[in-house]
Amino acid sequence: MNAKQHIVAIGAEFGLSSIQAVTLLLTEENQPRPMKSFCLLYHCDASNITGIVDGLEQKRLVSRQNDPNDRRVKVIKLEPAGKKLQQIIIKRLSERSGFLFDPLTDAEARQLVTIVEKLGSLAKLPDRPQANANTTGQTKK
């Protein structure tokens, strides 16, 4: 079984579609993520993300909130039940995908999860142009 098949199987055990499981895995506990960042990551329309988040919200795994820095932006916050399920899914993925994790120590496996979470955060949108950038994209000194 490949990684996608593992996610589909594990997500289904908890009543999640594969895209809901991935979205849950990419939502960070202490850093709510803009909904639009998922549009960029998945290359889809905002209405698709709304449907995915609606399903996760109905299960009380995430909540949709206004960004405290920009009320026009909706962010996805991981709820305690979502964090618990996220940990279960990661554990189950590591059990079923042992061939991927067997060579790693526990510390290295935790570090890998941290790295994957960090890579997932790369899909976040730059909300506004940076104050220290000019129109050519070069940074002012």
* Domain assignment present for 94: yes
* pLDDT tens per residue, range 44-72: 999 999 999 999 999 999 999 999 889 89
* pLDDT tens per residue, range 121-132: 665 545 434 334
Instruction: Say what the pTM is.
Output: 0.68
Residue 9 CB partners (closer than 8 Å, separation 6+): 1, 96
**How many structural domains is the chain composed of?**
1
Range of the domain at 54: 3-123
Phi-psi region of 70 (alpha: psi -120 to 50; beta: other; left: phi over 0): beta
* Domain assignment present for 79: yes
Tell me the pairing of strands 70-78 and 33-34.
antiparallel
* Domain assignment present for 139: no
* Domain assignment present for 30: yes
* pLDDT tens per residue, range 66-87: 998 898 999 999 999 999 999 9
CA distance 118 to 112: 10
* Domain assignment present for 62: yes
